[in-house]
């Protein structure tokens, strides 16, 4: 990977032969080598004064703490922190392009667990185990982050990102509307369907249901998590796709019905932010998505339905709890020129101080710092804010998390995009689940074959 200096000079000179010397003076330097791993011992906070960190972030509630409190970090270290926020597919694209051209534009990136196999294979991320061992700052309490989360953010035993989000599946529903019309809280997928039917007649101006329908891999979790309730997996252990499996089709059919017949008219384009907005603005009565929304929906400043939300962890016909497994963290680019500072930032972000503020001031009740979650302050606050319904269900939701149904492979993004394009167009066209799954099965076959799976 590293070339000798003279070869780089030669390439650059021959590339710039046609430009004047003045141009060469103006040319920026491309990213070159990387700094050589952690220097021993906890770093001095002011060792990097004047430096700048660039963060590539994916949209989501977990970055609010970063944006609100980065000033603390800047003051403590005398540095500048710049952030760029994009939707998930764009953030991934930018990171891959940046890593591939080795320009090191970004020091830190949001890392969704499902992209880890891809990033690991291409060595885009800096492995963090050595850093934890040799350069741990007091900011990082090793016991604070749940071990399972650290394991999920590792591939082949190497940790690649410090987790800052653990998410499970949850159904949110308007308990006020349910009470009003005498519908009992949904505990199974069948309950959800019958509730949707009743609500459609009882409250015609509100969509009974909302969820993710956008045609990108970021929506896949909804559909695979739901069908897990039916005991169905899209892929078997050899990574052969079984989209036309009857149990899987049944699950897809129910969810498709919910989105087609009981969902908003733009259901086929909803990202998680937009789907959430439907619910928080009062335009949808139920939403199947991630536990992350609990705090948002119960915050009167962000949501019009605060205080009216019920939480349930429904099961499917096979007795499996519905899933929405998602973990996210911050990782360091392998090509960053500021790895020491970046590592310091990662530790600061998950420090007790920062996460405590995040939970208490920003209302992020599911911040994965065990010290914070088990503290008295936290218990007092959740009681005071009336969110105990939600926080009480969190541990169970986290315990329900499984990855059995998940294609944890480098081709995940392609699989997710292909599958969701079919589903999204089925939502808007009214296609049945059978038809959609028939159409997508050969495409998934092609991807598996191309990647060398399913022999």
Partner 1 sequence: MADQGTPEQPRAESKSRVPQGKRARWTLGRALAQVAVVILVIVALFPFVFMLRVAFSSARDYLSGIKVLSAPLTFENFTEVYSSTELGRYLFNSLLYSILTTLIVLVIGSMAGFGLSKARNALVRDNVMFFVLSTRMGPPVVFAVPLFLLMTNLLLVDTRVGMILVYTFYNLAFAIWLMYGFFREVPPEIEEAGLLDGLSPLSVFRRISLPLVVPGLMATGILVFIFTWNEFFYALVLTRDVAKTFPAMVPQFFGAFRVEWGQMLAASTMGIIPPLVFGLLIRKYLVRGLSLGSVR
Partner 2 sequence: MRLSKRHYLILLGPTLLILFAMLAFPTAYVFSISLRDYKLTDPTAGNPFVGLENYKTLLSDPEFFSALWRSVLFTVGSVALTFVVGMAIALLLNRRDIRGTGLTRTAILVPLILTPLVIGATYRFMLDRDNGIINEFLALVGLQRIPFLADPAWAMTSVILVDVWQWTPFAVLVLLAGLESLPVGPFEAARMDGASRWGEFWYITLPLLAPVIAVVLLIRTMDAFREFDKIFIMTGGGPGIATQTLPIFLYRSGFQDFDMGFSAATGVVMLIIVTVVSSFYVRRIHSAGE
**Binds 122: which of partner 1, partner 2, none (CB < 5-8 Å by kind):** partner 2
For residue 93, state whether it binds partner 2 (rule: CB under 8 A): yes
For residue 274, state whether it binds partner 2 (rule: CB under 8 A): no
Q: How far is the CB of 168 from partner 1 (least distance, A)?
A: 23
**Binds 410: which of partner 2, partner 1, none (CB < 5-8 Å by kind):** partner 2
Total residues at interface with partner 1 (CB under 8 A): 30
Residues 87 to 106 in contact with partner 1, rule: CB under 8 A: 87, 97-98, 100-103, 105
Q: How far is the CB of 88 from partner 1 (least distance, A)?
A: 8
Output the 3-class SS for the chain. CCCCHHHHHHHHHHHCCCCCHHHHHHCCCCCCCCCCCCCCCCCCCCCCCCCEEEEEEECCCCHHHHHHHHHHHHHHHCCEEEEEEECHHHHHHHHHHHHHCCCCCCCEEEEEHHHHHHHHHCCCECCCHHHHHHCCCCCCCCCCCCHHHHHHCEECCEECCEEEEEECEEEEEEHHHHHHCCCCCCCEHHHHHHHHHHHHHHCCCCECCECCCCCCHHHHHHHHHHHHCCCCCCECCCCCECCCCHHHHHHHHHHHHHHHHHCCCCHHHCCHHHHHHHHHCCCECEEEEECCHHHHHCCCCCCCCCCCEEEECCECCCCCECCCCEEEEEEEECCCCCHHHHHHHHHHHCCHHHHHHHHHHHCCCCCCCHHHHCCHHHHHHHHHHCCHHHHHHHHHHHHCCCCCCCCCCCCHHHHHHHHHHHHHHHHHHCCCHHHHHHHHHHHHHHHHHHHCCCC
Out of 104, 215, 229, 407, the only residue in the binding site for partner 2 (CB under 8 A) is 215
Out of 60, 89, 264, 363, the only residue in the binding site for partner 2 (CB under 8 A) is 89
Out of 268, 359, 401, 440, the only residue in the binding site for partner 2 (CB under 8 A) is 268
Long-range CB pairs of 81-86, under 8 A, 24+ apart, other chains included: 81/52, 81/53, 81/55, 81/345, 82/52, 82/53, 82/54, 82/55, 83/54, 83/55, 83/57, 84/54, 84/55, 84/56, 84/57, 85/57, 85/58, 85/59, 86/56, 86/57, 86/58, 86/59
Out of 39, 80, 244, 273, the only residue in the binding site for partner 1 (CB under 8 A) is 273
Q: How far is the CB of 10 from partner 2 (least distance, A)?
A: 16
Span near partner 2 by CB under 8 A; candidates 254-262, 303-311, 374-382, 420-428: 420-428
**Binds 425: which of partner 1, partner 2, none (CB < 5-8 Å by kind):** partner 2
For residue 231, state whether it binds partner 2 (rule: CB under 8 A): no
Out of 12, 120, 198, 393, the only residue in the binding site for partner 1 (CB under 8 A) is 12
Residues 29 to 88 in contact with partner 1, rule: CB under 8 A: 29-32, 58-59, 84-87
**Binds 29: which of partner 1, partner 2, none (CB < 5-8 Å by kind):** partner 1
Residues 19 to 78 in contact with partner 2, rule: CB under 8 A: none
Rank residues 169 and 331 by Cβ distance to partner 2 and give the closer one. Answer: 331
Q: How far is the CB of 111 from partner 2 (least distance, A)?
A: 14
Rank residues 139 and 217 by Cβ distance to partner 1 and give the closer one. Answer: 217
Out of 18, 40, 156, 157, the only residue in the binding site for partner 1 (CB under 8 A) is 18
Q: How far is the CB of 372 from partner 2 (least distance, A)?
A: 36
Q: How far is the CB of 417 from partner 1 (least distance, A)?
A: 18
Closest CA to 208 of 171, 259, 170, 254: 259
**Tokens at residue 381, please?**
């606050």
Span near partner 2 by CB under 8 A; candidates 170-178, 195-203, 332-340, 411-419: 411-419
Out of 2, 4, 6, 28, the only residue in the binding site for partner 1 (CB under 8 A) is 28
Q: Would you tell me which residues interact with partner 2 (CB under 8 A)?
A: 18, 89, 93, 96-97, 100, 118, 121-123, 215, 266, 268-269, 410, 413-414, 417, 421, 424-425, 428, 446, 450
Q: Would you tell me which residues interact with partner 1 (CB under 8 A)?
A: 8, 11-12, 15-16, 18-19, 23-24, 26-32, 58-59, 84-87, 97-98, 100-103, 105, 273
């Amino acid at each position: 990977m590293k070339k000798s200096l003279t070869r780089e000079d030669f390439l650059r000179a021959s590339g710039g032969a046609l430009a004047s010397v003045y141009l060469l003076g103006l040319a920026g330097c491309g990213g070159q080598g990387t700094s050589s791993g952690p220097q021993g011992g906890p770093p001095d906070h002011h060792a990097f004064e004047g430096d700048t960190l660039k963060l590539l972030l994916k949209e989501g509630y977990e970055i609010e703490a970063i944006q609100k409190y980065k000033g603390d970090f800047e003051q403590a270290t005398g540095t500048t922190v710049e952030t760029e926020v994009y939707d998930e597919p764009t953030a991934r694209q930018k990171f891959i392009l940046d890593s591939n051209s080795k320009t090191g534009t970004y020091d830190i990136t949001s890392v969704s667990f499902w992209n880890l196999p891809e990033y690991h294979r291409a060595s885009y991320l800096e492995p963090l185990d050595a850093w934890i061992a040799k350069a741990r700052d007091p900011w990082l309490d090793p016991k604070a982050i749940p071990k399972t989360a650290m394991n999920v953010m590792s591939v082949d035993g190497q940790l690649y990102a410090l987790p800052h989000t653990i998410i499970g599946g949850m159904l949110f529903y308007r308990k006020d509307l349910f009470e009003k019309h005498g519908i009992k809280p949904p505990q199974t997928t069948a309950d959800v369907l019958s509730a949707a039917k009743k609500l459609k007649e009882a409250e015609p101006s509100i969509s009974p249901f909302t969820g993710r329908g956008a045609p990108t891999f970021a929506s896949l979790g909804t559909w695979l998590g739901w069908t897990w309730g039916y005991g169905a997996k899209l892929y078997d252990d050899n990574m052969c796709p079984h989209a036309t499996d009857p149990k899987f089709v049944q699950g897809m059919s129910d969810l498709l019905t919910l989105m087609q017949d009981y969902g908003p008219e733009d259901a086929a384009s909803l990202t998680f932010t937009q789907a959430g907005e439907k619910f928080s603005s009062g335009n949808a009565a139920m939403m199947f998505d991630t536990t992350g929304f609990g705090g948002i929906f119960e915050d009167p400043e962000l949501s019009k339905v605060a205080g009216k939300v019920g939480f349930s962890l429904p099961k499917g016909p096979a007795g499996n709890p519905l899933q929405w497994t998602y973990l996210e963290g911050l990782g360091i680019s392998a090509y960053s020129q500021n790895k020491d500072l970046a590592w310091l930032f990662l530790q600061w972000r998950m420090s007790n101080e920062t996460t405590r503020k995040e939970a208490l001031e920003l209302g992020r009740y599911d911040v994965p710092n065990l010290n914070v979650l088990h503290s008295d302050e936290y218990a007092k606050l959740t009681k005071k804010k009336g969110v105990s319904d939600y926080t009480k269900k969190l541990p169970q939701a986290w315990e329900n998390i499984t990855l059995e149904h998940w294609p944890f492979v480098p081709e995940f993004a392609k699989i997710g995009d292909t599958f969701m394009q079919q589903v999204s167009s089925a939502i808007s066209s009214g296609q049945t689940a059978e038809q959609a799954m028939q159409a997508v099965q050969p495409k998934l076959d092609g991807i598996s074959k191309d990647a060398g799976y399913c022999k």
